[in-house]
Structure 1
Amino acid sequence: MSYRWIVTDLDGTLVDRSLRMVPRSRAALHRFRQDGGQVVIATGRSRESAAPYYAELELTGPAILLNGAQVCDLSTGEVLLDRRLSTSAWVGVSRLLDDLPEEAAGVAFVGGRAYRVAESVLLDAYAARDGLTIEPVTSWDDLPTGGVSKAMVICASSMVAGGVAGRAALPGVTTLVSEPTYVELLPAGTDKGTALTWLARHCQVPLDEVAAVGDNPNDIPMFAVAGLAAAVYGGHPDACAAATVVVGRCDEGAVADVVSHIGALA
């Protein structure tokens, strides 16, 4: 089997916990592209947050952002797919964000920009970690109706995140826990798998010629549609169970292992 695309998650997959791209994986993706393959980033990050890694890889072409709510060519700024919470779904989400416990804080994304209502050390740490600017607004009502791509709740612990996720089964909303302390609220039917399916069809690339690699449950939907699904060793057990193959650790070059694996299959 020949694979034309490698679709890779960032955090915990291509990028280690110190937020550095693993050199061995970067070099392997460079070789894959030199041999005619295409690399697609698939991440929960926004345009602003994903752009430095996209540039480091010297990519051109589309990236899957906001866990599938957007597909954007970061080299040109062209937005290819842009899904938004419906007006009624946003009403439910904004009420949830207004009623969070003290150990949690909300952020909403409108296209490529992020917004907050409350000051929070949790949001400050999240913004610093992801290289993200979060703009203040007086109220969630200040955001455009039908304009929110996704909302996130940053929690102080996985226990808090579990409680928030339990309250987030809202009409018109897909809820996922993308990291142990991150609860994401997306337009219904939105995930990395639906975005990858759309993008592959848009680019006329058969899904069985796509290799996907990730480490968390939010990567499982793209595992379900890709021809090859590779999970990072030490990743979430559910992701490992859903994968075709489990490769090495992120910091040892998990994505490079995928490049080697598909080379051996060619």
Structure 2
Amino acid sequence: MAYKLLALDVDGTLVRRDGTIHEDDQRAIQRLKATGVPVTIATGRLYSGTRHVARSIGVTGPLACVDGSHIVDAEGSKHHHVRTLSGAAASTLKRVVSRHQPACFLFAEDAIVYDAVGEPFAPYVKTWSPSLQCVERVSSHPSWEHEAGVMALVAVGSEAQIRDAEAEIRAELDERAFVASFPVSRAQSTYGMVVRAAGSTKGTAVTWMAAYYGCSVDEVVVVGDWINDVPMFQTAGRSFAMMQAPEPVKRAATDTLGAHGDLGGGVAEAIRRAFDV
């Protein structure tokens, strides 16, 4: 198979924990681009937390942000696709999280809004965007009612808080929202939850990107390391999971890499194996 497009996850794949990109990955991307194969990004980050990464590897075309909910040109000149929670759905989400009171981070208008309850977790959340706004109360922020809607919500709390809120959101928003919860490995007995509008995933983003670049999804190679990468693994013709990826994520990929995301080098390895570059 002569693959025609490469789509990369950011955190734990392209960007290491210290925020840098391995030199081998950087050089491999430039070699691949020199052959005429475009490179793009598919990430859970907001655009404000993604564009500098795209620029650092020379990506100028569309980027898939917030797990495919926002597809926007790397220079921000054109927004191709936006899917948010708005109106009654946003109001319901606000009501549920206000009742269970986890620390909340509201992704809205390309910034992250939080309050004092979320302060301990802000250093972790800021990887999604450098545009953080600390407000008196997240629940009172006008973004909930803004016509642009809420791009996503990240909540952090005890397992009981998150599990109960997740169950209620699923029951009340049903097919209108995507909800996922997970243990926060760096904090014992702490759980996280991501909520965003249903219908967009990294898989739908790969399908959109393939059409944009004039190839089939079978001609796309993707690289990632986490559960939000599984939809693009299931869509693309060839998929690489980083060494540290959870076992279910590895099983969803066609290939597993020997490189760990903390050290880097996985993107270069994937490019060598898929493109022979």
Same fold (TM over 0.5): yes
Report which stretch shifted further, 178-187 or 14-23.
Answer: 178-187
2:180 corresponds to which of 169, 176, 182: 176
**How much does 1:158 deviate?**
7.0
Alpha-carbon distance in 2 for matches of 1:72, 1:137? 31
Alpha-carbon distance in 2 for matches of 1:159, 1:247? 35
The one-letter code of the counterpart of 2:208 is W
Conservation of the 8 A alpha-carbon contact between 1:90 and 1:146? no
2:218 corresponds to which of 201, 204, 208: 208
The one-letter code of the counterpart of 2:250 is C
Q: What is the percentage of aligned positions where both structures have the same residue?
A: 25
Conservation of the 8 A alpha-carbon contact between 1:13 and 1:215? yes
Which runs of 5 or more structure 2 residues have no equivalent in the other structure? 185-190
1:115 corresponds to which of 107, 113, 116: 113
- Residue 35 of structure 2 is aligned to residue 25 of structure 1: no
Report which stretch shifted further, 144-153 or 248-257.
Answer: 144-153
Change (3 A) 1:217 1:159: farther
Name the count of aligned residue pairs: 263
Conservation of the 8 A alpha-carbon contact between 1:26 and 1:57? yes
The one-letter code of the counterpart of 1:121 is E
Report which stretch shifted further, 117-126 or 3-12.
Answer: 117-126
- The RMSD of aligned alpha carbons is 2.5
**How much does 1:68 deviate?**
1.0
**How much does 1:110 deviate?**
2.6
**How much does 1:58 deviate?**
1.7
Change (3 A) 1:70 1:128: closer
**How much does 1:242 deviate?**
0.3
Conservation of the 8 A alpha-carbon contact between 1:69 and 1:149? no
Aligned to 2:67: 67
SS at match of 1:92: helix
Which runs of 5 or more structure 1 residues have no equivalent in the other structure? none
Alpha-carbon distance in 1 for matches of 2:158, 2:28? 35
Conservation of the 8 A alpha-carbon contact between 2:11 and 2:17? yes
The one-letter code of the counterpart of 2:178 is T
Output one character per residue of 1:13-62: Cα deviation in whole Å (capped at 9) or x when no partner: 11112222122112111111111111111111111111221121121101
SS at match of 1:14: coil
- Residue 256 of structure 2 is aligned to residue 255 of structure 1: no
TM-score (norm 1): 0.88
- Residue 164 of structure 2 is aligned to residue 151 of structure 1: no
Change (3 A) 1:152 1:51: same
